[in-house]
Amino acid sequence: MRPHPVFVCTEMEGNMDLSKERLWEIARFLLVGGGCFLLDYGLLFALTEYGGFNYLTSSAISFTVSLVVNYLLCVTVVFHAGHQSPKKTALFIATSLAGLAINQGCMYAFVDGLGIWYMAAKIGAAAVVTVWNYITKRLVLRGGH
């Protein structure tokens, strides 16, 4: 059965099928990611304001905690990937560490470079990392299918 024409778009490399299943997958990814963002955001605030940590330390801790939750939910709920091989787990960890580096770089640039309040900066950093995460996690967990 061919997908509805609305769900098909053309890229330079060929057709990219945006089937209903892919759209539901993206919706699940955004829902899980949104929940993990709230966890990350709340921990960032609590650790910085109440724990007395520097915003970059708080950001690294909150990102890592939300990452673990995100991994478990991505494997089971978003991508229905099942058991992950050691290679896929290592790739997931590597792409996640790159995501942490992107997060920290954005936070530093926004806060120390541009003078943006750390909680507002987190929203911008999260937007950048979300795009990175979807692309890399999908490739790692589903093999790009």
Token pair, residue 140, equals 């790692």
Q: How many structural domains compose the chain?
A: 1
pLDDT single digits (tens) 19-61: 888 899 889 988 998 899 999 999 999 999 999 999 999 999 9
d(CA 44, CA 58): 5
Pick the closest to residue 99 from 66, 72, 53 (CA basis). 66
The whole model's pTM is what?
0.75
- Cβ neighbour number for residue 67 with a 10 Å cutoff: 23
pLDDT single digits (tens) 80-137: 777 778 887 888 788 888 999 999 999 999 999 999 999 999 999 999 998 887 788 7
User: 3-state DSSP call for residue 10?
Assistant: strand
Domain range for residue 70? 5-142
